[in-house]
Structure 1
Amino acid sequence: MIGVIRTLFAFLRLLGPERSSDLGGWLLRTASPLLPVNRVALANIRAAFPGMADSEVRRIARGAWENLGRTAAEYAHLKTLFDYDYLNPDAPSRVEVDGIEHFIALKDDEKPGLIFSAHLANWELPAICAQAYDLDTTAVFRAPNDPAIASVVHEIRSGAMGGLAAAKQGAAFAMQGVLERNGHLGMLIDQHFTRGVVVPFMGRPALTNPILGKFARRFECPVHGVRVVRLPNQRFRLELTPPLDLPRDAAGEIDVQGAMAMMTAVVEGWVRDHPEQWLWMHRRWRPTMMSAAVAEAGMAVARTPAFKAT
């Protein structure tokens, strides 16, 4: 299986990044109506945009599949896909960067930092950007379920990015170590997390991994968002936000749930800007688990000494 994948990637490299992207996008866009998981995408879009015309719902879903196909094909070119030179920003390139001054500030402030992102456009590019400009960043990633694909993708990521940390049991200790040495963590925060905190997302409650909020509280470090926008003609724009002013509790410490809600609200704005570039196929909202999470949160509040039942 690994041999087949390597052969496929070799073929895509021969095509070049533009034609590879076009081919991958066309294949998934064409096949998407036949894929069972397309029903998940359609249901998610309808729930997020109530009242939207069905033709528009299907257009967004097809666009999301095309983006996913393009992103998959672009893995063969990750090492060369990012070609932006901030010392010569007017030079022709397939990538433009908005907010490069924030990357530079993170690099020079001698403090740890947190960067959140989402599955938009080609979501691998921010980690490559950080590596290109020597920003000490560890990207937290979730490996593909298929071992053969995971092996090849990890090999490609390792050659194009800085540090990598797999999202698995015990990963929090490695992530903490990165921050303790004044490094930076980059993490995608737009997927379901069973043991997460409840935050609003696209008009519905969703479970979100609280780890960045916890680290922000502990290390009092800057937190930035970064998104990728896919532009016409196989081009991209990276946008890094200024540091967020996260909400705090009565003691003046960063409120973890409030912090994750704020980060998620930023992601929601990104998704609403370019819904056809987000990963709608993921089961982001899971009502059964949500009910259990809300009940558990209520019990936790009831157990605190300050809680008074009315």
Structure 2
Amino acid sequence: MPEPRTVIYWLSDRLIRAAFAVLMLMPFPLRRRVCGWLMSRVVAPLGGYRARIRENLALVLPDLPEAEVARLVRTVPENLGRSLAELYSAPDFLKLIRDEPLTGPGVEALAAAHAAGRPVMLVTGHIGNYDAIRAALILRGYRVGGLYRPMANPFFNEHYVRAISGIGKPLFPRGRKGLGDMVRFLRSGGMLGVVLDQSMGDGVPLSFMGHAALTALSSAELALRYDALVVPTYGIRRADGGFDLIVEAPVPHTTAAEMTQALNDSLEAQVRAHMDQWLWTHRRWKTRRRRVRKK
């Protein structure tokens, strides 16, 4: 007899598949809006997202006015829903991104690395749509792979990976399974997209939004080992439905900790500028919460 967790995972996956089957019947702009509404008004309250957003905001921005907190409780899940609709709509998403220009002080350095076949670490966070830059670069002929963290729900993970594969390949799962292929791809001159802002048990406590957050040093360590360019990149959502594709200046090679702190600082600036586009539902400051509970 299957374990209760397996049953729950299977049932939730069936619901997700059914919801997306209906959503995919809608035109792309409507699909994004409806998926955002469902995530904000249905999934977020049922999944405890609203409480987690409030908890994170109370920790790092305790003086934020209640009206702004209430707005973020509504708009943060909405951005997540829109992003999911985009990731599951690869042809429409690629069409949307196709003509968006790359902007920022790192565009020329990125093009030079591409021309020279130099490895690149494209580092971003869960802000806007983190796959927008990967999509834009693949459309321009750049060799871009993606590193992803497998979902806890194996049923959902299967079709999620299939969906993001529609934007482009290769994709590498975190952990031993994908490590060898990922390193070979990077050493061959590929560009690797990495999302930095997940709490990692083997990370080190670095500053993010004024508090210690466990952060993996692996992106910087790989860059130092294989002489890869390290470039912060972001796909920030605009009010008109498009994206600003931002390529910041490369992070100089120093130590892994210093480089990773610079990446945290870059992401923090984007989060403060676009509060409703970052995934405040993350348990980003786990070390802080454990310390508080022990007192």
What TM-score do you get using the length of structure 2 for normalisation? 0.86
Rounded to whole Å, the distance in 1 between the matches of 2:15 and 2:184 is 37
Rounded to whole Å, the distance in 1 between the matches of 2:288 and 2:275 is 26
Give the match's secondary structure for 1:14.
coil
Rounded to whole Å, the distance in 2 between the matches of 1:105 and 1:17 is 35
1:58 aligned partner: 70
Moved more, 194-203 or 103-112: 103-112
Rounded to whole Å, the distance in 1 between the matches of 2:191 and 2:34 is 35
Q: How far is the alpha carbon of 1:126 from its aligned partner?
A: 1.8
2:154 aligned partner: 147
Aligned residues of 1:226 and 1:240 also touching (Cα < 8 A): yes
1:98 aligned partner: 103
Q: How far is the alpha carbon of 1:165 from its aligned partner?
A: 0.2
Aligned partner (choices 9, 17, 20) of residue 20 of structure 2: 9
1:137 aligned partner: 144
Unaligned stretches of 5+ residues in structure 2: 1-9
Q: How far is the alpha carbon of 1:171 from its aligned partner?
A: 3.4
Q: Does residue 271 in structure 1 map to residue 294 in structure 2?
A: no
1:19 aligned partner: 30
1:107 maps to amino acid: H
> What is the CA RMSD across the aligned residues, in angstroms?
2.3
Unaligned stretches of 5+ residues in structure 1: 87-92, 249-254, 292-310
Gap change, CA 1:183 and 1:79, over 3 Å in 2:
same
How many pairs does the alignment contain?
A: 277
Rounded to whole Å, the distance in 2 between the matches of 1:189 and 1:67 is 19
Q: Percent identity?
A: 25
Q: Does residue 163 in structure 1 map to residue 170 in structure 2?
A: yes
Aligned residues of 2:127 and 2:279 also touching (Cα < 8 A): yes
Q: Deviations over 1:3-47 (max 9, x none)?
A: 765554343232122101100111222233454232111111122
Moved more, 162-171 or 59-68: 162-171
Rounded to whole Å, the distance in 2 between the matches of 1:78 and 1:197 is 35
Q: Deviations over 1:240-293 (max 9, x none)?
A: 1121224x3xxxxxx1111111111101111111011011111000136876xx
Aligned residues of 2:86 and 2:92 also touching (Cα < 8 A): no
Aligned residues of 1:41 and 1:61 also touching (Cα < 8 A): yes
1:71 aligned partner: 83
Give the match's secondary structure for 2:285.
coil
Moved more, 231-240 or 17-26: 231-240
Q: Deviations over 1:147-194 (max 9, x none)?
A: 222111111222221210001235333322222212121100011001
Q: How far is the alpha carbon of 1:83 from its aligned partner?
A: 2.9
Q: Structure 2 matches for 1:87-236, cutoff 5 A?
A: 95-99=100-104, 100-236=107-243
